[in-house]
Each structure stands twice: as structure tokens, then as C-alpha cells.
Structure 1
Amino acid sequence: MFENKLISEAQLRGLSLHELRLLRNEVYARHGRIFKTMWIQQYFSFQPWYDQKEDFKDEDLSGPDKTNVETIVAYENQLHNSIGTKPITSA
């Protein structure tokens, strides 16, 4: 989706934690990472472009890929932190 392009926090707004996790792991999947989490592995196994590689290493990621993962992780952390601090209002 964002191959060789840097993503911004603004582009991540509105995505759920589930969607963010898939987006983050898509960066790794595009390089052939095999996932230990079963549902993530199954999800990417159904993608026509996914080609798992036994010899995948994090070092295989490009500079933009690493930056995108960092951006997504930072935004995921913001969302996780905000979940516990948002006041509950009555409807």
C-alpha cells in the first residue's frame, strides 16, 4: 500500500487498532515474513502477492519501510493510551 512512500500520522487517523496491526504487518509480509500469530499468517497467506520466505530478516526492510513501521507503532501506542484515558459520557 505504501511501498517506498512514507506515511504520516494523518493517513492513519480513522483506522482501528486491528487495521493498524494489519497495515504494520503488511510491511513485513511484503518481504516474506512468516508470522507466529496464526490469524495474521492466515490473512497474508490469502493475499496473492504474499510469498513467505524462511530466511526473512528485519534487516531486509528498506529505510522507508522501517520508518513506516515506527510511525504505525507510535500511532498504535497513542490509541492504546487514549483508550484508558477517555472519559465515559452518558448518552
Structure 2
Amino acid sequence: MLPKDGAYMDYYSARIDTIIEQQTDTTEVAEVYTEESYRTASDIITKINSSTTKLTEKGLKNLKKLELEILRNTIYARHGYTFKKKSYRQFFDSVEWYIPISENVDKELTSLEKNNIKSLFKFYLIIIL
């Protein structure tokens, strides 16, 4: 399981928005500044064990993109997959049970995990398309 006290934020995928504030009584710009926002995941990811529980459409359809990514990659992390993507590596390096040992863990995956990976990826694609 993932730690319940973790901050599930993707620090490597910041979105930078330019904010333009208008003065209320004129057409002049009062201030222009940028604001960073980060993707976050709720604590639902600490309650779902995607390696041992069959995931259903009902349980997945309301999850955010980052939550689907974390749940899918938690399966790989449990088998010691060495993540190349910096944001995944940063996230799992902070989990005490994660020990990266292999670049290919496909032979280690159970049929339940393979099915859950497919389901998670299916809902991930629905969100991004």
C-alpha cells in the first residue's frame, strides 16, 4: 500500500498560467503575473491495491489522470521496476518498500495485475483523448 500521509503531487509537470488583472474602473492592466499549478492525486490511491483487487469500471470512472497513472505504476513499482520518467521515480523513491531492480518486470506480473493495467490504461486514454 502507499503511505497515507504522502503528498501526491507531480512536481515535474507544472502548468504555468499567465494571470492578467484589469483595473476595475479603467481598461488599464493592473498586474500581470504567472502562477504555477501542479497535478495532485487524492488519498483514494492509498485505499486501492491494484495488485490484489480486481478494478472495475465503477471504481475507475471518476479517478483523475494522475490517480490512474499512480495506480498503474504502483503495480510495476511493487515488482521493482526502474522508472525512467522523472516524476514516477520521484514519487516512488519516497515509498519505503520501493526497490528499483529491473527495467522489465513483465514476467513477474500476475494475470490480475495485467488485467488491471489494461483497465487503468483504458480509462487513462479516455481522459486524455
Q: What residue is the counterpart of 1:45 in the other structure?
A: 93
- Percent of aligned pairs with the same amino acid: 28
Structure 1 moving runs of 4+ over 6 Å: none
Pick one of 32, 56, 62 that aligns with 1:14: 62
| Structure 2 unaligned regions, length at least 5 | 1-48
Give the AA of the match of 1:18: L
Q: What residue is the counterpart of 1:85 in the other structure?
A: none
TM superposition shift of 1:55: 6.1
Higher relative contact order (CA 8 A, sep 6+): 1
Higher helix share: 1
How many Å separate the matches in 1 of 2:98 and 2:111?
21
Q: Mark the structure with the bigger radius of gyration.
A: 2
TM value normalised by structure 2: 0.58
How many Å separate the matches in 1 of 2:111 and 2:119?
12
Q: What residue is the counterpart of 1:74 in the other structure?
A: 122
Q: What residue is the counterpart of 1:35 in the other structure?
A: 83
**Conserved 8 A contact 2:81-2:101:** yes
The number of equivalent residue pairs is 81
TM superposition shift of 1:79: 1.6
TM value normalised by structure 1: 0.80
